[in-house]
Amino acid sequence: MNRRDSDKRSADATSWLRQAFIHLGILPLLLVAAILLFAIQEERFYSSLNIFNVVRQTTFLLIVALGQMIVILTKGLDMSMGAVVGFSGVVGALAMKAVLGVAPDALLLGGIVAVLAGISAGALAGAFNGIGVSYLNVPPFMMTLGTWTSLVGVSLLLTKGMPLTGVPDEFMRALGYGRIFGLAPPVLVTIILVVLVYALLNRTTIGRYFYAIGSNLRAAKLSGINASGQMFFAYVLSGTFAGVAGVLFIARTGSAEALNGSAYTLQAIAACVIGGVSLFGGIGKVRDVLLGAFFITILTNGMNLIRVESYIQSIVLGLVLILSLVADQFRMKLLK
């Protein structure tokens, strides 16, 4: 009798773990393991200052990851997002310098122009990707990889390979390290974008179309969905989000250069995949991408604190991404 009860409990536990893995993926395990490991290794990890740094660093990655998520839901991929972040920052900084060169005291106007120019540059880059993928049927990987290469070149040309500095302190305070309702501006912007993306994906017809296209493109077209238009819009949103990150980045650092966002492409994809967004399209939640971005930031932050060499960090991030892809494949089999 006792053995039967033990076997039943074991079976129940296995079933519970299976269901938890299907619904939550591998992320909770990785997140708990990372927090415990770094908390044991380095007491500074759980200090209030470091927690604040983790939250601040997560905002930039999360903004890019949200844009990447929207594209992946449609069974696409945006390899250009890191370059778009750098390009948008360069365009925004140049626009601000142009305004202040004519009217040095027009700081407010210069800041507004920088924000609009940077975000518009990101949206245009996204539209370029969207035209290639949606209307010219170029594979997403090749289209966005080509855009990445081109934008890095354009950014280097615009900056002559040198960082653009001299961003006014007022701009940095307003969008970088100031406080709005007690929150740092990038954190507030990120919260707003998370709410908007959640509402878009879960409360609008457009969001349902994204999921439908990613799940079955042929069926979506047969049901009357303008698949090309929706995919185009997904890439525009992706570029726009990268543009927002680019503008916030120059406000945080006080400079703009071509390679400012180079690390975000892989990290954003990793945050999405680790968070359970399927590269096969049609599956993913904003909540999980949020947790995935936190995990990537915690992993990077913790390795920096315990002085892990940068090349080892790249290896670890790559292995985590591979593990997540394998887990994603396994989840897909369990869902069938």
On whether residue 195 sits in a domain, the answer given is yes
Contact 87, 258 (CB under 8 A): yes
Domain span holding position 303? 58-335
- 3-state secondary structure (DSSP) of residue 163: coil
On whether residue 116 sits in a domain, the answer given is yes
Give the chain's domain count: 1
**Which amino acid is it at 30?**
L
Q: Cα separation of 272 and 257, whole Å?
A: 26
On whether residue 109 sits in a domain, the answer given is yes
* Residue pLDDT, tens place only, 76-130: 999 999 999 999 999 999 999 999 999 989 999 999 999 999 999 999 999 999 9
On whether residue 8 sits in a domain, the answer given is no
**C-beta neighbour count of 321 within 10 angstroms:** 18
- Under 8 Å CB-to-CB from 309, ≥6 apart: which residues? none
On whether residue 34 sits in a domain, the answer given is no
**pLDDT-derived band of residue 24, with 50, 70 and 90 as boundaries?**
low
On whether residue 21 sits in a domain, the answer given is no
Supply 312's token pair: 């080892």
Contact 213, 207 (CB under 8 A): no
* Residue pLDDT, tens place only, 233-287: 999 999 999 999 999 999 998 889 988 888 899 889 989 988 888 888 898 899 9
Q: For the chain, first and last CA: distance in Å?
A: 35
- 3-state secondary structure (DSSP) of residue 25: coil
The proportion of the chain whose per-residue pLDDT surpasses 90, expressed as a percent, equals 55
Q: Cα separation of 68 and 70, whole Å?
A: 6
Residue 262, pLDDT score = 85
The proportion of the chain whose per-residue pLDDT surpasses 70, expressed as a percent, equals 91
- CATH number at 329 reads 1.10.3470
Supply 127's token pair: 């539209």
- Tell whether the model's pLDDT for residue 65 goes beyond 90: yes
Nearest to 228 by CA among 155, 150, 157, 130: 130
Q: Cα separation of 74 and 236, whole Å?
A: 13
- Under 8 Å CB-to-CB from 88, ≥6 apart: which residues? 118, 119, 121, 122, 125, 242, 243, 245, 246, 247
Helical H segments across 131-282, by residue range = 140-159, 169-172, 185-203, 205-215, 217-222, 227-253, 264-274
On whether residue 80 sits in a domain, the answer given is yes
- 169 vs 26: which has the higher pLDDT: 169
- Tell whether the model's pLDDT for residue 42 goes beyond 90: no
DSSP 118-160: HHHHHHHHHHHHHIIIIIS---HHHHHHHHHHHHHHHHHHHHT
- Tell whether the model's pLDDT for residue 13 goes beyond 60: no
On whether residue 6 sits in a domain, the answer given is no
